[in-house]
Amino acid sequence: MREQTKPAVAEPARMRLTLHVWRQKNRQSAGRMVTYAADHISPDMSFLEMLDVVNEELVAKGEEPIAFESDCREGICGSCGIMINGVAHGPKRETTACQLHMRSFRDGDEITIEPWRARAFPIIKDLVVDRSAFDRIIQAGGYITAPTGGAPDANAIPVPKPDADFAFEAAACIGCGACVAQCPNASAMLFTAAKVAHLAVLPQGQPERYARVARMVDQMEVELFGNCTNHGECSAVCPKGIPLDMIGLLNRDFRKARITGSPMGDEKP
Ligand code: SF4
Ligand code: FES
């Protein structure tokens, strides 16, 4: 009887990369770029898995691993933001760093990896920044106070389809901060606009509509984010494709809130 041979399984190609990574011990200390070799990297790994491999090697050598944030690794939590070759979340459009695969790079590439750089996002360690300024903007107005009880039937409150689609598009913002990191002014307009817009077009969001926008914009300024000067870099790197139209809605609502003379937007125009 002829011996059956298994078909040879081709070894997956491996990549060799050179990484230049920002290392910074803590908020107070000065940081610097450190170069690492990343060998045996599969093109099918995600960018964060590639960093995991580098970290395993650092730990094996008794060195401090590179600190970076991640949680879902599915593009939904917003925690994994890093600058990759000067672009927030890297070279692939509408893709978070955790969903970016190493096949987007070439064998032998040099890759520069840095944290978000913005005054409102101080560096905690290496690639990890403090994005609690975003939480405080949400706390300032990103809620509704109407008692809504349990979840109503889907069609109990009629919402026109274009409004529902617009609200859904705005609600896709994952609060990653890429828009701030890429903006030359470190403006948080796209993030704030998305949070304002997703409630502004729904019936449930109407009672506080103008108070909300005034409070959130005021908080954005308190947190030392820059102003929007229409560069559009924010939307270009947003992993959820939040469009600049959201900023248009924010500006219109903010003007209405201010024209009515309510500094905290407490009255509905
Ligand atoms: S608007 Fe886009 S880039 Fe900005 S925080 Fe939201 S998802 Fe991230
Ligand atoms: S780890 Fe959650 S979006 Fe990347």
Q: Is residue 139 part of a domain?
A: yes
pLDDT at 167: 96
**Within-domain flag for 10:** no
Q: How confident is the model at residue 268 (pLDDT cuts 50, 70, 90)?
A: very low
pLDDT higher for 76 or 11? Answer: 76
Task: Kindly report, residue by residue over 139-197, the tens digit of the pLDDT.
Answer: 999 988 877 778 777 778 889 999 999 999 999 999 999 999 999 999 999 999 999 99
Nearest Cα residue to atom 1 of ligand 1: 191
Report whether pLDDT(96) > 70: yes
- 249 lies in the same domain as 139: yes
The mean per-residue pLDDT over the stretch 43-62 comes to 98
What pLDDT is stored for residue 246 in this prediction? 96
Q: State residue 158's pLDDT score.
A: 87
The CATH number of the domain where 135 resides is what?
1.10.1060.10
Q: Are residues 83 and 113 in the same domain?
A: yes
Residues 178 and 225 in one domain: yes
Q: Does residue 72 belong to any structural domain of this protein?
A: yes
Q: Are residues 202 and 228 in the same domain?
A: yes
- Let me know whether 141 and 110 are in one domain: no
- Domain residue limits at 107: 15-125
The minimum-distance atom of ligand 2 relative to the CA of 71 is 1
| pLDDT at residue 145 in the model | 84
Rounded to the nearest angstrom, the distance between the alpha carbon of 96 and the centre of ligand 2 is: 7
Q: Give the pLDDT of residue 3.
A: 58
Which ligand does the CA of 73 lie closest to? Answer: 2
**Residue 121 and residue 175 in one domain:** no
Query: 135 and 196, same structural domain?
Result: yes
Answer whether residue 6 is part of any domain. Answer: no
One-letter-per-residue 3-state SS of the chain: CCCCCCCCCCCCCCEEEEEEEEECCCCCCCCEEEEEEEEEECCCCEHHHHHHHHHHHHHHCCCCCCCCCCCCCCCCCCCCCCEECCEECCCCCCCCHHHCEHHHCCCCCEEEEECCCCCCCCEEECCEECCHHHHHHHHHHCCCCCCCCCCCCCCCCCCCHHHHHHHHHHHCCCCCCHHHHHCCCCECHHHHHHHHHHHHCCHHHCCCHHHHHHHHHHHHHHCCCECCCCCCHHHHHCCCCCCCHHHHHHHHHHHHHHHCCCCCCCCCC
pLDDT band at 13 (very low <50, low <70, confident <90, very high): confident
269, pLDDT greater than 50:
no
Q: Evaluate: CB of 196 within 6 angstroms of ligand 1.
A: no
Per residue in 127-150, pLDDT tens?
999 999 999 999 999 988 877 778
In a domain, 71, yes or no: yes
Distance of CA 190 from the midpoint of ligand 1 (Å): 7
CATH number, position 108: 3.10.20.30
- 69-92 pLDDT per residue, tens: 999 999 999 999 999 999 999 999
Question: Domain count of the chain?
Answer: 2
Block residue for tokens 């229409």: 230
Q: For residue 89, tell me if it sits in a domain.
A: yes
- Cα 244 to averaged position of ligand 1 atoms, centre (Å): 11
Residue 127 in contact with ligand 1 by CB distance below 6 A: no
C-alpha of residue 57 to centroid of ligand 1, in Å: 33
pLDDT for 250? 97
What pLDDT digit, counting tens, does each position of 211-265 carry? Answer: 999 999 999 999 999 999 999 999 999 999 999 999 999 999 999 998 876 544 4
Query: For residue 11, what pLDDT band results from cuts at 50, 70 and 90?
Result: low
Domain contains 234: yes
Query: Which of 77, 129, 180, 242 maximizes ligand 1 atoms within 8 Å of its Cβ, making it the mutation to test the pocket?
Result: 242
Same domain, 162 and 67: no
